[in-house]
Homo-oligomer: A and B are copies of this chain.
């Protein structure tokens, strides 16, 4: 079924049908109603490919992330899609994993689809390879990075200030008289490295703290098990430890379990801080103090920026959302 079929049955030309579909004026009432009735009768929907071809605009946005099963990636995709829908855009979502080649492939695929912008979700897209891929394959197509940034004119980044956020956590622990902190994280990502940096820098300012162990978990091992056993190991190797910051709430939950099983009082003997202010922080017992890195805010800001960019409005290439601490029972 095409607009020609409708036109024929209505006894008008295809142009008239097109005008009715697009709600343009310059169609007499009789014809308009006649055509509208037929459109309804056949539940006609114009072919988006044809439209995209002639209008040079597909109204599609591409979203690439390593794995949508990760809660905050799903959240990013959700807000993106919800917002863009209001402007007539649909989203093609691709799970790229972490390999450079798969990511390049994804970018090419989306370019082939003639998407009007690409969103990269996660700090791991902040790499030289991606920079090269973007400038080579995408030209000046707008690219938005959630929690990352690449220095190119068509790339827009919204970052969580996790570095200073973690530094705040360190200061909080210090105020609670903790002097032997530790940091546990998993995966060599820009986001993690920033957290470690914030951790180390904040401690530099504090002269009365011990040199802290920084544990990086093996990404091969199960996340929960790794954090659990690393925490037990940590308490054995550094018995003075009186506080642990985990790079995510999930890791912290495993850590709390290990601490409870080891008979440590939380926060009396060992205080615990997580990151993400996720559902995990609420369901833990005791309830987990967590750095709220405003991931939801980040997603919303990204889609706002995207809309503006698509409209041709001027927006800054780089923005930062400040984190703050949601203090609960583990500190």
Contact = CB atoms under 8 A, between A and B. Distances in A.
A43 interface: yes
B94 A90 contact: yes
Given A92-B92, A224-B283, A114 B48 contact: yes
B49 A58 contact: yes
Interface stretch (A67-75, A157-165, A206-214, A303-311): A67-75
Contacts of A136: 43
A111 interface: yes
Contact of A95 (B78, B95, B109, B224): B78
Contacts of A91: 92-93
Contact of A92 (B75, B90, B109): B90
| Chain A, interface residues (CB within 8 Å), range | 35 or more
Nearest to A45: B112
A204 interface: no
A71 to B, nearest CB: 7
A58 B91 CA distance: 15
A257 B285 contact: yes
A329 to B, nearest CB: 13
A189 to B, nearest CB: 20
B81 A93 contact: yes
Contact of A81 (B50, B94, B111, B113): B94
B49 A114 contact: yes
Contacts of A112: 45-48
A253 B47 CA distance: 48
Contacts of A78: 67-69, 95
A298 to B, nearest CB: 15
A268 interface: no
A90 B113 contact: yes
A318 interface: no
Q: Which 5 A-B pairs have the closest CB atoms?
A: A45-B112, A49-B52, A74-B74, A49-B53, A49-B49
Interface of A: 43, 45-50, 52-53, 58, 60, 67-69, 71, 74-75, 77-78, 81-82, 85, 90-95, 108-109, 111-114, 136-137, 224, 253-254, 257, 260, 279, 282-283, 285
Given A45-B108, A49-B114, 20 more contacts: A49-B49, A49-B58, A53-B53, A60-B92, A68-B68, A68-B78, A69-B74, A69-B75, A71-B71, A74-B74, A81-B94, A81-B95, A90-B94, A90-B113, A93-B93, A224-B279, A224-B282, A224-B283, A254-B283, A257-B283
5 contacts: A47-B114, A60-B92, A69-B75, A69-B78, A254-B283
